[in-house]
Amino acid sequence: MNVLDLLLAGALAGLSWTCSMVHYPLLSDLHTENASSVHFQRHVRRIFPLVGVLMAAELMVASWRCWSESSVPNMASLGVILIVWLLTGMFAAPVHQMMLADQASRKHVSRLMAIHHVRTGCWTLRCGIVALGGVA
């Protein structure tokens, strides 16, 4: 087990669970109450440096692990990361941009929350893969 990989997986899973349980429901409430896009701008401005750095580091470490030791757990872990990046790029990021421009509908926000739950599940699964991958 690679400690750095486990720390990154745990940090992103924990952050994702926090967003699922706290941030996105609050953003949904703000959207329902027709709050200004300032709240969404603050959220993105504050969360992106943290999430962006962690996701980039996670991708680099997992890629390096696959390159240095091509094992099933390492490949599965990288596969989960690639799914998260795909979901982020295709669904989450565009809705965030719509929210920033005050163009997101209730349907968009609901879809963002649903996609985020899938990403949370992926990061949680990755924690297990990384933790158990070092046991075998």
Q: What is the pLDDT of residues 45-83, one digit of tens each?
A: 898 999 999 999 999 999 999 999 999 999 999 999 999
Contact 54, 15 (CB under 8 A): yes
Kindly tell me if the per-residue pLDDT of 136 is higher than 60: no
Q: What residues have CB less than 8 Å from 122, skipping those under 6 apart?
A: 80, 83, 84, 87
Pairwise CA distance, residues 120 & 37, whole Å: 25
pLDDT of residue 81: 98
Domain boundaries, the chain: 3-133
- Counting Cα atoms < 13 Å in the Cβ hemisphere of 20 gives 17
